[in-house]
Amino acid sequence: MDRIRIIGGNPLNGIIPVSGAKNAALPLMIASLLTSDTLTLENVPRLADVNLLMRILGNHGCDYRMDGKRVGDAPYAGQTIHLEASTIVDTTAPYDLVSRMRASFWVVAPLIARMGVAKVSLPGGCAIGTRPVDLLLMVLEKLGAQIEIDSGYVHAKAPHGLRGAEIDFPKVTVGGTHTALMAASLAHGVTLIRNAACEPEVRDLADCLVKMGAKIKGAGTSTIEIEGVTRLHGARHAVLPDRIEAGTYAMAAAMAGGDVLLEGAQESLLPVALDILRQTGATVETTARGLRVARHGGVIMPVDVTTEPFPGFPTDLQAQFMALMTRAQGTSRITETIFENRFMHVQELARLGARIRLDGDAAIVEGRPVLKGAPVMATDLRASVSLVIAALAAEGETLVHRVYHLDRGFERLEQKLQACGAQVERISDPG
Ligand code: UD1
């Protein structure tokens, strides 16, 4: 199994190109099941989750083709993939595939909307909490599907098609909103979603669905109206930049010091997180090419943070921010309101010398001037990158084990950091 070796202490200086957003690419790829035509997606990141989802879609009958490199392509240009589900040959998503990537459960929406039937494995537990799917099933039931759960599978049926309905989410859910958008686009009549997720990835999915012929108003706000159509067609769409990847490298630069241009990053995708970063003492500026983040010496100031749905501070940056706070001059309180049990990184950060105490849904971080390198274990995607951030500023060597978590969500992480002067390398075990 691969490991990542980091020798801390070097500042980061240079340019980091921001890849397409994983959390936008996945639902966009799943939307290809809604039409028999070709959906072409540009700027798709090269990630293990994308490859796995292609296999899952292939199992339903979706063909996929990827463009090769083109003359003049930048070394980090995202990939273009063509997805064509001309015939859905299998409406079952089996446990061995769904259990490996939670988001693949979302195939239930296009399958039931297009085929009137779907059998999808429940995704099971995950390192960041129980993560139920009750609200996703509520969406399908509101739209007229009959749902039964048997032997770990959701059996959904709507032999006469889905019908538009009013959907009031009791809490903001990104996956629930994606499910509602995809299913309601092919339902008979009008659907109104209240308390919809406003995340940019939801708007990106809606923009693509509109290009495919869907009638959607209000995506990106908490009230979305969808007028169902009988058929969707092919389209071409570019995946939006990854705000979590951009925020992660912004925190890495604030942690290690230096001056980094995050090429393609947009302030509007990370409003609160960047303000918080400024409060820690980093400089963040918008330029024509992206965001420039710098910290030249000086102390890291402690700042309290609470995770919230967009536009609030994203839960997917909580672990990275905690890493930064381990070296702040003073104590900060980081409250997690989106997922229970999303503090798996605390024990591992402690191995690098961090002082963190848990208090219910909050972590109290007592900043220290020095962290020391150590062997650590990646536990989930965002937690593992928080260890990399801490290691960049730790004295000596850190070995991060189980880096397959990183490969799920960060494209060429070590190359991007190396290009800015970090001492980072991947150690691949033979076999
Ligand atoms: C997506 C993102 C994930 C991010 C999260 C919150 C992808 C692939 N993943 O996950 O990176 O951390 O949004 O921004 O885009 N909930 C229920 N019942 C449900 C569904 C959700 O109670 O049926 C709860 C969850 O347990 C959680 C909250 O709602 O407490 C928000 O979860 P949700 O927004 O649905 O997260 P995902 O879409 O799974």
CATH number at residue 337: 3.65.10.10
Note the pLDDT tens digit of each residue in 177-189.
999 999 999 999 9
How far, in Å, is the centroid of ligand 1 from the Cα of 200?
Answer: 14
Q: Answer yes or no: do 208 and 84 share one domain.
A: yes
Domain, as residue range, for 159? 22-238
Q: Is the CB of 171 under 6 A from ligand 1?
A: yes
Q: Answer yes or no: do 249 and 227 share one domain.
A: no
Number of domains making up the chain: 2
Note the pLDDT tens digit of each residue in 92-134.
999 999 988 999 999 999 999 999 999 999 986 555 455 689 9
Q: Answer yes or no: do 334 and 262 share one domain.
A: yes
Q: How far is CA 423 from CA 5, 88, 94, 294, in A?
A: 8, 47, 41, 19
Tell me which of 136, 338, 341, 384 to substitute to probe ligand 1's pocket, judged by most ligand atoms within 8 Å of the beta carbon.
Answer: 338
Instruction: Give the mean pLDDT of 131-150.
Output: 94
Q: Answer yes or no: do 211 and 296 share one domain.
A: no
**pLDDT score for 383:** 86
Please identify, among 222, 238, 254, the residue that sits at the C-terminal boundary of a domain: 238
Instruction: Give the mean pLDDT of 6-31.
Output: 97
How far, in Å, is the centroid of ligand 1 from the Cα of 195?
Answer: 14
Q: Which residues share a beta bridge with 3?
A: 427
Q: Answer yes or no: do 216 and 141 share one domain.
A: yes
Q: Is the CB of 154 under 6 A from ligand 1?
A: no
Q: Answer yes or no: do 171 and 57 share one domain.
A: yes
Q: Answer yes or no: do 221 and 266 share one domain.
A: no
The C-alpha atoms of residue 109 and residue 175 are separated, in whole angstroms, by 11
Q: Does 198 qualify as catalytic in the annotation?
A: no
How far, in Å, is the centroid of ligand 1 from the Cα of 197?
Answer: 10
**pLDDT score for 128:** 47
Predicted TM-score (pTM) above 0.85: yes
Q: Answer yes or no: do 211 and 280 share one domain.
A: no
**pLDDT score for 105:** 96
Q: Whose CA is nearest to atom 9 of ligand 1?
A: 23
Q: Is the CB of 53 under 6 A from ligand 1?
A: no
Q: How far is CA 315 from CA 119, 277, 305, 319, in A?
A: 30, 15, 10, 8
Note the pLDDT tens digit of each residue in 64-99.
999 988 888 887 789 999 999 999 999 999 999 998
Instruction: Give the mean pLDDT of 143-159.
Output: 95
Atom of ligand 1 nearest to the CA of 310: 14
Instruction: Give the mean pLDDT of 8-26.
Output: 97
Strands (E), 45-142: 63-66, 79-84, 92-93, 117-121
Please identify, among 238, 263, 290, the residue that sits at the C-terminal boundary of a domain: 238
Q: Answer yes or no: do 253 and 221 share one domain.
A: no
Quote the percentage of the chain above a pLDDT of 70. Answer: 98
Report which DSSP code applies to 302. Answer: P
Q: Answer yes or no: do 289 and 152 share one domain.
A: no
Q: Answer yes or no: do 154 and 247 share one domain.
A: no
Please identify, among 194, 212, 238, the residue that sits at the C-terminal boundary of a domain: 238
Tell me which of 56, 173, 199 to substitute to probe ligand 1's pocket, judged by most ligand atoms within 8 Å of the beta carbon.
Answer: 173
Q: Answer yes or no: do 159 and 191 share one domain.
A: yes
Note the pLDDT tens digit of each residue in 324-373.
999 999 999 999 999 987 898 999 999 999 999 999 999 999 999 999 99
Note the pLDDT tens digit of each residue in 33-68.
999 999 999 999 999 999 999 999 999 999 999 998
